[in-house]
Amino acid sequence: MEEIKVYNTLTKEKEVFKPITPGEVKIYVCGVTPYNHPHIGNARPAVTWDIIRRYLEYIGYKVKFVQNFTDVDDKIINKANAEGTDWKTISDRYIDAYFKVMDALHVRRTDVYPRVSDHMDDIIHMVEELIKNGHAYVLGGDVYYDISTFKDYGKLSGRKVEDMLAGARIEVNDEKRNPGDFALWKAAKPGEPFWESPWGKGRPGWHIECSAMSTHYLGNTIDFHGGGSDLIFPHHENEIAQSEGCTGCHFVNYWLHNGFITINSEKMSKSLNNFFLVKDVLEKYSGDALRFFLLSTHYRSPLDFSDDRLEEAEKNMDKLKDVI
């Protein structure tokens, strides 16, 4: 097989790809939280990894590709409460919506789409192991990861612990050992879905799910882990701490992160009202054109979204179709 070089977020260098098992590749990519229709920021990693997976298969690798759905989350619960329904109805609705637009973008289905709700036993087992290994502690009905116990904490993002606290999703609890300690398990609040655990009724924290599901399907060490650049800290940083703290094994050999999407040179955000849903874009432009546009810039670079760029992509697709 031909030599491939990839930029590894962990080492900040381009490295020659060497699979764990010759001829095989294990990939885990963080998926969406299905509480709304997918936006174009969700489409970029999906299309990027679809291309990477297709290329690896094209040159002869056997690929196992896993992408999760975070179907238990505050946003889903809040939406369900607002609509007077349950969390599963909301997550099922928007998982269906995700597949519909990804099909329009010709994104092939991954091998497995695990859901958090189907892996509570794996998550609880991992939390138990982290407590046993001295990396986690119980606080009432909650369980927290003690970041001071993991000497390599910060190795992915390259930040010092004190710098990481600003702007991170940090659970407020004055009794935590360190301000940056993050929840592995959260005690259930009234009106929330819950699962039975050794620490009482509750549900997982944000980060533990991916560690548990990646390990379940791909083993302790995987070749590639992907997602948007916004996930480097705290999500992927915490995944490393959890996975390596639990198994004692190196977690991921190559971390790949795609760049942000901007709208007319401004960062996409709901507060700026420049948040575009894929289904709305597809009402004006073809799936081929949107896919072509998403691939028109290097995956690690920022990608500026505008009608002019989409119209250009549509014209370029027409030219390609004429040639074919």
pLDDT digits (tens, 9 = 90+) for 270-322: 677 777 999 999 999 999 999 999 999 999 999 999 999 999 999 999 999 99
Task: State the DSSP code for 115.
Answer: B
Residue that is written with structure tokens 């970029």 in the block: 44
Query: d(Cα 20, Cα 224) in Å, to the nearest integer?
Result: 10
pTM score of the predicted model: 0.94
Instruction: Enumerate residues 6+ apart whose C-beta is below 8 A from 139.
Output: 173, 175, 176
Average pLDDT, the chain: 94
Residue 20 confidence (pLDDT) above 60: yes
Task: State the DSSP code for 72.
Answer: S
Q: pLDDT tens-digit profile of 199-209?
A: 999 999 999 99
Helix, strand, or coil (residue 9): coil
For domain 21-115+259-324, say whether CATH 3.40.50.620 is its number: yes
Does an H or E element contain 95, and which?
helix 87-104
Task: Work out the angle between the directed axes of helices 87-104 and 40-58 (0-180°, nearest 10).
Answer: 60
